[in-house]
Amino acid sequence: MERVRIGTAAAPNGSALRIIAEHRDARGRLLPRRIAAVELLNILRPTVAVDRFIVFAALALHDHPHWRERLREDGGGELTETFVQEVRRYYPFFPVAVARVRRAFDWQGHHFPQGRRVLLDLYGTNHHPELWPQPERFLPERFAGRTPDPYAFVPQGGGEHLAGHRCAGEWITIELMKRAVTNLTSTMAYQVPPQNLAVSLRRMPALPPSGFVIDQVRSTA
């Protein structure tokens, strides 16, 4: 941050680094150096974390190869979005959101005393059989032509974005995943050598033990 501010480090116009380094508050003051650095990390960290979902998208293409051709033809359109949404529903990335009760309340016959730690089961909600028919099947079609219910579809937190703390980066996540799926299906060919692709729910955030190793990669663009 300091080097960008004094001009000894390059930061392209419009980059997060430059915008945050040069941001001024209502009184015209720059952000304290440490706060500015944390704000930059708040952009970088979750953006890098999307690679987990991209691994799961690659795994979904491997497990359901008939989707490759359909997605290649779709070229990042609506079908790709349904595929990406189903990846976010089906695969276990972020298992729970944790909170502590600030003011006691009752909800659906349960008492929540002040100070009690509570977990919102994101994975369980995304696989609840009353909300999702055949929840253990990978069916991107279930997202076709519908806006997902913000209380049933909770891969990055639940509820409304504007009223709560649901992830502000969901749209960025979806776009990055769509681009990755389009790259994997339209611009490259590859082989998937034998490896352990079983996903254990004991690992947080979850990932196949081998990651997702590909070889014989060729450009087809």
Binding site for ligand HEM (CB under 6 A): 43, 46-47, 49-50, 52-53, 93-94, 97, 156-158, 164-169, 172-173
Nearer to ligand HEM, 31 or 68 (CB): 31
Q: Is 171 left (phi over 0), alpha (psi -120 to 50) or beta?
A: alpha
Minimum gap (Å) between residue 51 Cβ and ligand HEM:
8
- Cα separation of 187 and 139, whole Å? 24
Q: How far is the CB of 173 from ligand HEM (least distance, A)?
A: 5
Between the alpha carbon of residue 45 and those of residues 91, 206, 216, the distances in Å are 20, 17, 30
Which is closer to ligand HEM, CB of 68 or CB of 112? 112
With CB atoms as reference, the residue minimizing the distance to ligand HEM is 169
In degrees to the nearest 10, what's the CA dihedral of 206, 210, 215, 221? Answer: 0
* Nearer CB in complex with ligand HEM: 97/192: 97
d(CA 98, CA 213): 32
Shortest Cβ 133–ligand HEM spacing (Å): 24
**Nearer of residues 163 and 217 to ligand HEM, judged by Cβ:** 163
